[in-house]
Each structure stands twice: as structure tokens, then as C-alpha cells.
């Protein structure tokens, strides 16, 4: 296993600035809608959600949902399984799903369906990262932090085999550095 830190793709400063912009945009869009429910997708979104939620200027509550993909962790088979549903009642509420990264789109597609089954007033989506060349299924993305190329990225909540989640920047794990 290599001990070289992952190469920087998006710096801490760039993330901070973009999260501020997203928070401002979301706060504006929901200004007259009352309290919104931010639904963070575990585990990868926890840092993004923490930063984004604290920068919003609108009333908000927090829920978490957890899913897992069948099969190898770095190859998406398209089959998604619910591990933990939201605890609070989101019926009639404005829901914003907060994802770390959208790759093929299967996870977010599944999550939108799951959330819809709870009967919210609206569902929008926010992803920090979007791998634009990997799309297999089109999902509505209302807010995107950064569009990125198809590399395995870690940091700011994202991991490779549970490593590097707490890196302050988004880094690239090259195939040679994987074990
Ligand atoms: P999708 O269903 O859109 O293909 O994949 C979404 C999920 O795959 C993400 O929530 C994340 O868990 C995982 N994923 C996809 N690409 C990456 C990546 O580059 N790095 C990490 N850490 N997770 C990824």
C-alpha cells in the first residue's frame, strides 16, 4: 500500500467557496417555503452535509438515510439496498437529498423513489460531485458542487475502503495506489 497522500483534485478552499455558493443558492430558492428537510446519504455525505447545513440561512432539519450497493464497492452494479430509512416524518415537507457523489445515477434514482414513497411536498437533489461521463441513468440534479472526470475520489467524507474520509480536500486514488 502506498503512503503517498492522494493527489489533490479539488482543494479545501475551492470546496469552501463552492459550498458557500450552494448554500446561498439553496437559501434563496427555498426562502418562502418554511422549514426544509436535508436528507444526508450516509456515510459519504456527512461532512458536506455538516458544512452545507450550517451555511444555510433558512430553517432546516436533518435526517439521514443509508444505502448500500450490491457487489464490489468500486464497481456499481445498479442494485441498491436500503440499510436505514429516515426516522422523522417527512410527509408534506420539502426534502433536499444531499449526496456526496453521483456516478452512474442508480443510487440517487433509487433514493428519489424511496423519498417519494413518504409523500413529501417536494424533492430536490444536491450532490457535491457529479461524474458526468459515467451516467447510466438520468436523474434530476438540482444542485451540483463540481462536475468531475471518472476517477476514484476520496476525502471530505468520501472513502476508499474506509480510508481517507477525513482528508480536508478531494483527492484522487490512482489504480496503482489501491490494494
Ligand atoms: P452511483 O449509484 O451514482 O453509481 O454511485 C453513487 C455512490 O457510489 C456514491 O454515493 C458513492 O458511495 C459511490 N461512489 C461512486 N464514485 C465514487 C468515488 O469516486 N469515490 C467514492 N468514495 N465513492 C464513490
Residue 72 has pLDDT above 60, yes or no: no
d(CA 33, ligand 1 centre) in Å: 31
Read off the pLDDT of residues 92-115 as tens digits, 9 standing for 90 and up: 999 999 999 999 999 999 999 999
CA–CA separation, 49 vs 38, rounded Å? 8
Q: Which residue's alpha carbon is at the smallest distance from atom 16 of ligand 1?
A: 103
Best substitution site from 46, 75, 78, 101 to test ligand 1's pocket, by max atoms within 8 Å of Cβ? 101
Rounded to two decimals, the pTM is 0.94
d(CA 32, ligand 1 centre) in Å: 33
Selected catalytic residue, list 100, 103, 159, 164: 103
Q: With beta carbons less than 8 A apart as the criterion, state whether 50 and 44 touch.
A: no
* Sheet with 7-10, edge to edge strand ranges: 7-10, 170-172, 153-154
The DSSP line for 108-165 is HHHHHHHHHTT--SEEEEEEEEEEGGG-SS----SEEEEEE-S--EEBTTB-BTTBST
Amino acid at each position: 500500500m502506498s503512503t503517498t497522500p492522494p493527489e489533490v483534485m479539488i482543494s479545501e478552499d475551492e470546496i469552501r467557496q463552492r459550498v458557500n455558493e450552494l448554500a446561498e443558492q439553496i437559501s434563496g430558492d427555498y426562502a418562502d417555503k418554511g422549514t426544509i428537510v436535508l436528507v444526508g446519504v450516509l456515510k459519504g455525505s456527512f461532512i458536506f452535509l455538516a458544512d452545507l447545513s450550517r451555511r444555510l440561512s433558512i430553517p432546516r432539519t436533518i435526517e439521514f438515510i443509508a444505502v448500500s450497493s450490491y457487489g464490489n464497492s468500486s464497481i456499481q452494479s445498479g442494485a441498491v439496498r436500503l440499510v436505514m430509512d429516515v426516522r422523522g416524518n417527512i410527509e408534506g415537507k420539502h426534502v433536499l437529498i444531499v449526496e456526496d457523489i453521483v456516478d452512474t445515477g442508480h443510487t440517487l434514482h433509487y433514493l428519489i423513489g424511496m423519498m417519494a414513497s413518504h409523500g413529501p411536498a417536494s424533492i430536490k437533489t444536491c450532490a457535491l460531485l457529479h461524474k458526468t461521463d459515467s451516467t447510466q441513468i438520468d436523474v434530476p440534479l438540482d444542485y451540483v458542487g463540481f462536475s468531475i472526470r471518472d476517477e476514484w475520489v476520496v476525502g471530505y467524507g468520501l472513502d476508499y475502503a474506509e480510508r481517507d474520509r477525513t482528508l480536508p480536500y478531494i483527492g484522487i486514488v490512482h489504480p496503482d495506489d489501491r490494494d
